Structure 1
Amino acid sequence: MEIKERFLNYVNFDTQSDSYSHTVPSTSKQLKLGNYLVEELKSLGIENAKIDEFGVVYGIIPSNNNHQGDVIGFIAHMDTSPDASGKDIHPQIIKDYQGQKITLNEDKELYLDPEQYPQLLQLIHHDLITTDGTTLLGADDKAGIAIIMQMVEYIYNHPEFKHNDIQIAFTPDEEIGHGSDHFNVDYFNAQYAYTIDGGDIHIVEYENFNAFSAEVKVHGRSIHPGSAKNKMINSTRVAYEFDSLLPVHMRPESTEGYEGFNHLHSIQGTCEETVAEYIIRNHDLQQANKQCQDFKDIAEFLNKKYGYQIVEVTITESYLNMKEALKDHMFIVEQALAAIKENGLDAYCSPIRGGTDGARLTFKGLPCPNLGTGGFNYHGPYEYCSLTMMEKQVQILLHILKNTASK
């Protein structure tokens, strides 16, 4: 099966996760893809493939090497972001892209314009897949799944290809920060792994954000508007007052590279009560802690201003920067960079402006940097991926396996 067919098959599955759910996984529809992947792995010779009670798919390809070296794992996630619909995706194929503006949806006036998305100009002559402007695409991370599966199929069809034990896993709920909650590192039994959940395949990522979430709950005083003078305190207005006191230059739309941000992800409320959900991100843990303290300080200021406990702030740690935990395992990064170069590409490292399952798995004792999928503009209708990059990433993974088998 070609990687294009494989990927288009996977995006037919609606696997959107739900951050408000209390089930594991957060949506049962993720299990449909999980069960499908188990059967596909079995059809490619991995008879031990299984899905556990938490919705995590595992499979082991036994070594065919005379001497057993490092056991390497490859991981991708099955869910798509709650930020945009993942149902009834209608991909569009652009063959031999020439640098033109791409029409996603003429009725909605949605376009992929190289002037706005200059990465497109690095993809001249690539075959691209885009959305039709009504959903996200799901390259995050079904492109990663397709790349891993294509690698598995190659190994199945080429028994002469020497390799050590290879561990495969597909996780649910990565997009809502729970992809590694129930990941069985002991069962996975790899010395290290790679998540295939990045963007540009030239890049190896081993630095990610320190991530926290903040729930800001505002308790107003609801009074009939006709008699509200000097009595009503509208919680929604206070919530926006709270937001205005956060640094404007630390919003996502104003940051890049190593710059951290506070992102107002959602807000719901009435005059009586409003709840605002934020995510707090910074590569520097000290700076991330300062951002968290800003939230507490603003709450204290508003509580004094209004004379009662009008604002409650609850901060929760999501994941930490894996850079510190990987500093003694940099050979994992170096061998990935070498494999990229062996495929005729420039290779470099770049910080992840996000997180992966690998960040938390690294702190669980499974060192796990991140590799690219060829996907871009995740989590919305402007998402697209390069089939050309996906095909090349399969070769990069095979080079990693070949090089480690020969050590």
Structure 2
Amino acid sequence: MIDKQHLINRFISYVTIDTESDPNSNTTPSTEKQWNLANKLAEELKTIGLQDVSIDQNSYVMATLPSNVSHKVPVIGFVAHFDTSPDFTGANVKPQLVENYDGKDIMLNAEENIVLSPDYFEDLLQYKGQTLITTDGTTLLGADDKAGVTEIVTAMEYLVKHPEIKHGEIRICFTPDEEIGRGAHKFDVKKFGAEWAYTMDGSQIGELEYENFNAAGASVKVKGKIVHPGYAKGKMINSMYIAQDFINSLPRLETPEHTEGRQGFFHLAQINGKVEETNLYYIIRDHDKEHFEARKEVMQNLANEINKQHGNTVIELDIKDQYYNMREKVEPVMHIVDIAEEAMKNLNITPIIKPIRGGTDGSQLSFMGLPCPNIFAGGHNFHGRYEYVPVESMIKATEVICKITELTAEKYA
């Protein structure tokens, strides 16, 4: 039985350490403060009895729970990230405990009248009667992904204390900078040495994901010509109008606010313009590889057409692929998803198997030779002041980790 208060205390000790990452930094980790939690985790892993605890020059923390069976079992791993999103401040996090949640509004911050309401966040109603950890309305919480970190450490501690649960060798890794897309960039897969792994980085209880978007970023530079507006006839070329034509020529309903499930999109994430030059930044997403390639082609053809209309290059387009759908790497080894699904069912958790409408370290790791589906960590409303996590979901995620290790040992007996 997982000790509820012990898990709560561990989680709070992690989220109160600021580990916000910085996309404008070129170092790894991207912020010096991430070392504070990385070093704490390395020491804690030694304390609970794990072996081969290491922390490298980029703050990746790895450790081993040795096998306690005599037969050969594949080495499996569990991965989580300890940085938090730069979308909202992670400094001075003050978690609030809501015990026996009654299904009503939760006042996060009376002074600023910040309310977490089931009228807007309907998922709250799934957790009536449970213990919730929320923010105080002024920061994010950091359950993404310190809930996952908490669950992995707690599961390893539980397995050390309960040798009657039989398992093979388990490897764990905690990474920096996942929130800025670099969590797997310096992950040493060879050193990790696992045949497959699971990221504990999903949301609501039951989530099990092995599909994600194919992703690209597109920089669009639109060039104009500035002259005095009083004498501009036939001379001025306003780059903002050309940019507007470009934006309006892309499929208007194929944007994030109009799509769901496996539907892809073009997302205009940033725009900055003057007459002389306008810069657009898009992200392109699609689960289907052919559709993904077609989307890039649509954008390139549009740029070519507008250039043709103007008789010269007024649009410069630069598209760079970011990551790919891990499904193609996981499907050949679907037993790793089946084991996770079976573990959930054994614990009376209904698996929710669905594609991720985003990316995951598991995607990059899968293409680096470490197939890596994603499992729920329990949190909701990531990256903002309304983030919360049910403690009971964290306990269940911890139990899923333990059950996966047990089932894997059994299947290879």
Letter in 1 for 2:203: G
CA contact (8 A) 2:264 2:285 kept: yes
Q: Which amino acid aligns with 2:407?
A: N
Match of 1:117 among 101, 118, 121: 121
2:376 aligned partner, one-letter code: G
1:31-46 alignment, distance < 5 Å: 31-46=35-50
User: Using the alignment, how far apart are the partners of 1:274 and 1:45 within structure 2?
Assistant: 56
One-letter amino acid of the structure 2 residue matched with residue 318 of structure 1: Q
Partner Cα separation in structure 2 for residue 213 and residue 18 of structure 1: 18
- Name the SS of the counterpart of 1:328 in structure 2: helix
Question: Could you tell which deviates more after superposition, 197-206 or 303-312?
Answer: 303-312
**Structure 1 counterpart of 2:379:** 375
In 1, Cα distance between equivalents of 2:88 and 2:230: 39
Q: What residue is the counterpart of 2:410 in the other structure?
A: 406
Structure 1 residue 233, shift from structure 2 partner? 3.7
Q: 2:173 — aligned with what?
A: 169
Which residue in 2 is equivalent to 1:310?
314
Partner Cα distance (1:135, 1:351) in 2: 28
Pick one of 394, 398, 401 that aligns with 2:398: 394
Give me the TM-score of the superposition, normalised by structure 1: 0.93
Identify which of 329, 339, 342 aligns with 1:338: 342
1:245 CA displacement: 2.4
Distance in 2 separating the partners of 1:266 and 1:132? 30
Counterpart in the other structure of 1:254: 258
Equivalent position of 1:301 in the other structure = 305
> What CA distance in whole angstroms lies between the structure 2 residues aligned with 1:216 and 1:372?
36
The CA deviation string for residues 278-297 of structure 1, in whole angstroms up to 9 with x for no partner, is: 22111111111122122212
256, 261, 268: which one pairs with 1:264?
Answer: 268
Q: 1:21-59 CA distances to partner (integer Å, 9 max, x unpaired)? A: 222232222222212211111111224211112221111
When residues 226 and 55 of structure 1 are mapped into structure 2, their CA distance, relative to the original with a 3 A threshold, is farther
Task: In structure 2, list runs of 5 or more residues that go unmatched.
Answer: none
> Are residue 321 (structure 1) and residue 325 (structure 2) matched?
yes
Q: CA deviation at 1:254?
A: 1.4
| Partner amino acid, structure 2, of 1:169 | C
Correspondence for 1:385 among 374, 389, 403: 389
Give 1:195 shift. 0.4
1:107 Cα deviation after fit: 5.5
1:137 to 141, 159, 180: 141
Question: 1:12 is matched with which residue?
Answer: 16
Does the Cα contact within 8 Å between 1:42 and 1:49 map onto a contact in 2? yes
Secondary structure at the aligned position of 2:332 is classed as: coil
In the alignment, which residue of structure 1 is the partner of 2:186? 182
Residue 215 of structure 1 pairs with residue 219 of structure 2: yes
In structure 2, do the counterparts of structure 1 residues 338 and 25 end up closer, same or farther at CA, with 3 Å as the change threshold?
A: same
Instruction: Provide the rounded CA distance (Å) in 1 between the counterparts of 2:142 and 2:129.
Output: 22
For the 8 Å contact 2:51–2:66, the answer to whether it is kept is no
Distance 1:97 1:157, change over 3 A: same
Q: Please list, as runs of the form range in 1=range in 2, the aligned pairs for 1:17-36 lying within 5 A after superposition.
A: 17-36=21-40
Task: Please report the TM-score for the alignment, with normalisation by the length of structure 2.
Answer: 0.92
What's the CA shift string for 1:81-117, capped at 9, x where partnerless?
2222222222222212222123334555543332322
- On the 8 A contact 1:337/1:348 being kept in 2, the answer is no
In structure 1, how many angstroms separate the alpha carbons of the residues matched to 2:237 and 2:7?
57
2:198 matched residue in structure 1: 194
Q: Residues of 2 paired with 1:126 and 1:244: CA distance?
A: 47
Segments of 5+ residues of structure 1 without an aligned counterpart are none
Counterpart of 1:204 (choices 202, 208, 215) is 208
Q: In the aligned structure 1, how far is the partner of 2:33 from the partner of 2:405?
A: 33
Structure 2 CA distance for aligned equivalents of residues 32 and 25 of structure 1: 11
Measured at CA, do residues 146 and 238 of structure 1 come closer, stay the same or move farther in structure 2, by a change above 3 Å? farther
SS at structure 1 position matched to 2:272: strand
Secondary structure of the residue aligned to 1:22 is coil
- Contact conserved, 1:218 with 1:239, CA < 8 A, in 2? yes
Distance 1:383 1:112 in 2: 9
Residue 47 to residue 200, structure 1, CA distance change in 2 (3 Å): same
RMSD of Structure 2 on Structure 1 (CA): 2.1
Is the 2:21–2:180 Cα contact (8 Å) retained in structure 1? Answer: yes
C-alpha distance 388-232 of structure 1, shift in aligned 2 (>3 A) = farther
Give, in whole Å, the separation in 1 of the partners of 2:339 and 2:213. 23
Q: Contact between 1:14 and 1:88, CA under 8 Å: does it hold in 2?
A: yes
Do the aligned residues in 2 keep the contact of 1:208 with 1:322 (CA within 8 Å)?
yes
2:296 equivalent in structure 1: 292
Shift of 1:209: 0.8
CA contact (8 A) 2:73 2:408 kept: yes
Q: Deviations over 1:291-332 (max 9, x none)?
A: 212221232233234443222221111111111211121111
Instruction: Indicate the residue corresponding to 1:353 in structure 2.
Output: 357
Task: Render the CA deviation track for 1:135-159: whole Å, top value 9, x for unaligned.
Answer: 2221111111111111122123334
**Counterpart-to-counterpart distance in 2, 1:140 and 1:331:** 27
Over 3 Å counting, the alpha-carbon distance change for 1:101 and 1:363 in structure 2 is same
Residues paired across the two proteins, number: 407
Q: Which amino acid is 1:322 matched to?
A: M
Separation in structure 1 between the aligned mates of residue 230 and residue 372 of structure 2, nearest angstrom: 60
